Amino acid sequence: MALPGELTFVIDLLALYGVYLIVSLSLNLEFGFAGIPNFGKVLPVAAGAFAVGFLPGRLAAWMIGLGDVDYVKDNSPIVARVNEVLQNSIPMALFLLVVTLVAAAALGALLGFAASYPTRRLREDYLAMTLLAMGEALRVVGYNYAPLVGGTLGVQVPDPFAYVTGPLRFTVATLAILALSIIVFFYLESTVRSPLGRTLRALRDNEVAASSLGKDIVGLRLKVLLVGSAVAAIGGAIYAFYTGGVIAITYNRVDWTFLPWIIVMLGGAANNRGVSLGALVFVTVRKFIIFYKGGLAPYLPFDVVWLDMLLMGTVLILILLYKPEGIIPEQPIHTIGLARIEEVAEKRQRLKLDHGENSKQT
């Protein structure tokens, strides 16, 4: 029994929202809080997807005794056989999902280190250009080297939600994506509310001042790119699992670098709640545009296929002109709650009074 069209639309929208939220939050950590202009965001996202295209299918094939076959050449029958096994083995499906996500995060962190190491001492403009160039490198490799993820044809991947049959599969997958995005949100929110968050803002606002206070600028950049790349790779991996396949050309700089930048600018840089709202607004509007733009074809002087890209570019220009701070601007972050601050201040005041009375008696 198929789901109603409206419900399918909402489920797919929420799945895309969860994926873009994960990627955009990682970019917000790098750019919004640390001031690192990462225009190569597609690099870790593609790395996570390629980890899904390379690892779980081969691992599952080996586990069920198909390790001696050519995974890329015989991709469809192998994945079909693996999915049959996963339908009756929830532990194996969850094992593949968790192991692949961990491997994707590790690969993303490794590439984040590789990207940050040669650029660790560059200024913002040169750093942005270098990361932009490096962001294209992995896509080109994946597209031209077939043993990795099938080259121009791509590969199908095992379905870790195969045990949920029928249309409910996409519902369960969407709930898993949303749960993962919530975990990422609270992890990054706790990170930026820690003393490290204040240090990152100092790095962003004035590197010279932060360095004069003994902060390791190079080390901080390295750590931020490691964490941001690991999180973005998880987003790319869960998206590949959701779609059921990996093809290198899908992971381009428009969808996985430019669009996350629009989301961060729209929602509000250095504000995770703003980015969450910006991602929801962006994904919803874009989904409606893609869904209904066919009806506008007779009235447009250009090919309707470019409508969403033109509108998104226009939106970015308008944001920069009239509301550069975003929907929810950056706000001060308190490392401890206001009630705790007042409690500490009151305690110190009492100690001063007690000390004063003791001095008088002496």
pLDDT digits (tens, 9 = 90+) for 275-298: 999 999 999 988 988 888 888 778
Domain count, the chain: 2
Is the pLDDT score of 362 beyond 60?
no
In this structure, the answer to whether residues 227 and 101 fall within a common structural domain is yes
Is the pLDDT score of 137 beyond 90?
no
In this structure, the answer to whether residues 314 and 344 fall within a common structural domain is no
In this structure, the answer to whether residues 120 and 22 fall within a common structural domain is yes
In this structure, the answer to whether residues 222 and 344 fall within a common structural domain is no
Is the pLDDT score of 306 beyond 90?
no
In this structure, the answer to whether residues 263 and 194 fall within a common structural domain is yes
In this structure, the answer to whether residues 162 and 294 fall within a common structural domain is yes
Range of weakest confidence among 112-116, 152-156, 186-190, 219-223: 112-116
In this structure, the answer to whether residues 207 and 350 fall within a common structural domain is no
In this structure, the answer to whether residues 163 and 293 fall within a common structural domain is yes
Do 18 and 178 touch, CB atoms closer than 8 A? yes
| Res 101: pLDDT | 97
Do 25 and 272 touch, CB atoms closer than 8 A? yes
In this structure, the answer to whether residues 95 and 179 fall within a common structural domain is yes
* Degrees, nearest 5: CA angle 173-101-169: 15
Domain with 260, as residue range(s), is 5-331
SS3 139: helix
Tell me what the mean pLDDT of segment 21-43 comes to: 94
Tell me what the mean pLDDT of segment 70-98 comes to: 94
3-state DSSP of 97-117: HHHHHHHHHHHHHHHHHHHHC
pLDDT digits (tens, 9 = 90+) for 212-242: 888 888 888 889 999 999 999 999 999 999 9
In this structure, the answer to whether residues 252 and 355 fall within a common structural domain is no
In this structure, the answer to whether residues 349 and 284 fall within a common structural domain is no
CATH code of 22's domain: 1.10.3470
In this structure, the answer to whether residues 286 and 343 fall within a common structural domain is no
